[in-house]
Chain A
Amino acid sequence: MATYVIQRLGLMLLTLFAIVTLTFFLMHAVPGGPFVSERMLAPEIEASLNAKFGLSDPIWLQYLHYLRGIAMFDLGPSFKYPGVSVNQMIADGLPVTLRLGLLAVICVVALGVPMGIVAALNRNKWPDTGVMLLATMGVAIPSYVIATVLLYVFALKLGWVPTFGLDDWRGYILPVLALAGFWISFVARLSRSSLLETFEQDYMTTARAKGLRPGQVLFKHGLRNSLIPVVTVLGPVVANLVTGSFVIEQIFALPGIGRHFVLSITNRDYTAIMGITIFYAALLMVMILIVDLLYLWLDPRIKLSGQSA
């Protein structure tokens, strides 16, 4: 277990290093500098600005500086908002993004799995058809389309929920649903097919034959075994829900990291783009690691193979 965790952490650091390097050199491949604009600055001012931000140094020195900053969790200043650091931007947005992401994960589990169960129990009857239709739609329709349609119907036409902002709990409903839509459908489909496969197993027949009540058969024997594939995809799900939020944050005007990211793209705020990318990557990798460890802890069979590997 410990060696596995250490291995994973090592790989994670290596990946992060690769990401930082790639991001740094990509952003420095952009022609022009931050102070090259329509308003021609006096060359002296430009030179002193460049010197202040270390932009006149050779590129490898800048790279080392940046690496040192990252190692000390300092992502540098924003180019567009003087006096605001990228760290501050992230600290502003993180609570909103995390809250949305976690609520969406809860939604995925709390809605997707029961939908799959209902469909599997009523195979080829109308609840199954309904759930599968909904799930197919959820997989095929892009999240921003779902978001705008939800916004139009429930916020503009019916007025049940506010169109933007998170002032009360109702503000969360639409963004979370739009964010989770794809994965709810995905998990519903997955748990349906996995449950149907489990129903075919001999131990299910045994459980029924020895006289267990249907509820016991389903929950104790069926679900526990059929949910393993669902737990496996939860890692990528968590990762995707946290990054997937930037369009949703944009549409619902929520002040999360995603919105900062999209804004810094439109503003061409290069340090912010770099910083947020690196932060996102790190966040995702930590999330995936946590989910994988949880998974090890949940399923004893995996633990053995994980140790031997």
Chain B
Amino acid sequence: MSEETIAPAMWEKLDRSASETEVIATPSLTYWQDVRKRLWANKPAVVSIGFIVLLILAAIFGPIFSPFSYSDQNLKLANLPPVFEPYRVTDSSGASTRFFLNASNFNLYQVSEGGQVEEIIRGERKDMLKKRQAFKFGDQAVTLDYSSLPAKLLNADGSVLRPEGLQWNMTYLFGTDQLGRDVLVRQMIGARISLTVAFVATLVNFFIGIFYGGIAGYVGGKTDAVMMRIVEIISTIPLTLYVILLMVVLDSGLISIVVAIGSVFWVDMARMVRGQILMLKSQDYVAAARTMGAGTGRILTKHLLPNSVGPILVTLTMLIPSAIFIESFMSFIGLGVTPPLASWGTLTSEAVETLRAYPHQLFFPAAAISLTMFAFNFLGDGLRDALDPRLRK
């Protein structure tokens, strides 16, 4: 066995005051700072917040800056696609015309070099029997042949005219609908209506739910039992049916939808608030506040509700997509906003009418609803995780 020698300096006593055992390395965070940190670390939630903010901005400002109005019809330029294949015909004098063919209604539309739609091109008389129509561009003749689908354009010598590739519709970025209205601006108006309905209805739910649940939870006893029995009865009623009934009674329109959705879906909120209040009211700080002479109102608004903000926020975020859902559902079955106003539901149902000929019209409203639902769901999940103190790292 060898002996290890330890330098005498190692046996010196450490200076106690210099020890760093009691120093907390990470900065101390308040609850909300912590929540914010966790929320920002959640990528889908952050992307969703970005999407929702963009959507809200587009809904507020989009229609103001759009050159079109959501209600102006232009039947000559109806059902235009957002993307088309332009053709070019040059006559002997060198003047060239660009146009595209709408393969579903067999019309030709003149377009500029930049992709602006200019006007519908008038052709010669249609030959209904042969399913042909002749068009004149200066001294050049082009025949539209739709006897066999897809329709094709023929030169004077019978050869097929070739398109110049794809081009985006620069006048109507999303195309036009069956009445020649700009789909983009209607989409933004739809977002405006759908989001307004969702936010206002959720707010109404929020106030009724907080009021009802707060009273039931705080007062407790017999009042609570009766109030909760009522909630139990309401929650067994199929609520969608009641929204429909209310809509039938109130007649369609923006305000009725808000009233109908707002007055029916507060039950979950009330239950949740009651549970929170029941849990919190037995806490010591409530007793302390009461000893110091705080009244019921003060305890509720200053102590109990602020402490249940987290779960309330999560429930709210989850209520918004279901309100959007119900609104679009109502509009879809014809109980929504009245035309020419549009919501995502009415836009979808209008698009379904023309599904056979113009399937692309379904894309934008369907995508808008679905993406918004995604965003609110992700945001709700993210908020729930961020607000849960057990997940604190």
Contact = CB atoms under 8 A, between A and B. Distances in A.
Decide if A and B are genuine partners: yes
Contacts of B362: 145, 148-149, 152
A246 interface: yes
A208 interface: no
B233 A15 contact: yes
A243 B238 contact: yes
Interface in A1-39: 11-12, 14-15, 18-19, 22-23, 26-27, 29-30
Contacts of A145: 348, 362, 366, 369-370
Given A18-B233, A239-B238, A288-B236, A144 B329 contact: yes
A179 B246 CA distance: 25
B246 A26 contact: yes
Query: Chain B: interface residue count, which band?
Result: 20 to 34
B333 interface: yes
B334 A266 contact: yes
A268 interface: yes
**Which of B249, B355, B374 is the most central at the interface, judged by chain A CB atoms within 10 Å of its CB?**
B249
A174 interface: no
A265 B241 contact: no
Interface of A is mostly: helix
A250 B237 CA distance: 23
B332 interface: yes
B348 A144 contact: yes
B249 A144 contact: no
Interface string A271-295: 0010001001100110010000000
B313 interface: no
Contacts of A243: 238, 240-241
A251 B333 CA distance: 10
B245 interface: yes
A34 to B, nearest CB: 13
Given A144-B332, A288-B236, A152 B359 contact: yes
A277 B241 contact: yes
Contacts of B249: 26-27, 29-30
B238 A281 contact: yes
Contacts of A268: 248
B38 to A, nearest CB: 20
A71 interface: no
Contact of B237 (A11, A15, A139, A266): A15
Interface in A91-142: 136-137, 139-142
B228 interface: no
Nearest to A273: B248
A23 B245 contact: yes
A231 interface: no
Contacts of B359: 152
A247 interface: yes
Contacts of B120: none
Contact of A246 (B246, B325, B333): B333
Contacts of B248: 27, 30, 265, 268, 273
Nearest to B235: A15
Contacts of B325: 142
B368 to A, nearest CB: 10
Given A148-B362, A273-B248, A250 B233 contact: no
Contacts of A136: 374, 377
A251 B362 CA distance: 14
A156 interface: yes
Contacts of B241: 243, 277, 280-281
B167 to A, nearest CB: 25
Interface in B326-353: 328-329, 332-335, 348, 352
B330 to A, nearest CB: 10
Given A30-B249, A144-B348, A139 B377 contact: yes
B334 A14 contact: no
Interface string B92-115: 000000000000000000000000
Contacts of A246: 333
A263 to B, nearest CB: 10
A90 B93 CA distance: 72
A262 interface: yes
Interface string B187-222: 000000000000000000000000000000000000
B332 to A, nearest CB: 5
Interface string B244-286: 1110110000000000000000000000000000000000000
A247 B246 contact: no
Interface string B357-393: 0010010001001100110010000000000000000
A140 B377 contact: yes
A19 B237 contact: yes
B339 to A, nearest CB: 15
B335 A265 contact: yes
Given A250-B333, A265-B333, A141 B233 contact: no
A152 B348 CA distance: 14
Interface of B: 232-233, 236-238, 240-242, 244-246, 248-249, 325, 328-329, 332-335, 348, 352, 355-356, 359, 362, 366, 369-370, 373-374, 377
Given A243-B238, A247-B329, 6 more contacts: A142-B328, A148-B355, A243-B240, A265-B335, A266-B334, A284-B238
Interface of A: 11-12, 14-15, 18-19, 22-23, 26-27, 29-30, 136-137, 139-142, 144-145, 148-149, 151-152, 156, 239, 243, 246-247, 250-251, 262, 265-266, 268, 273, 277, 280-281, 284-285, 288
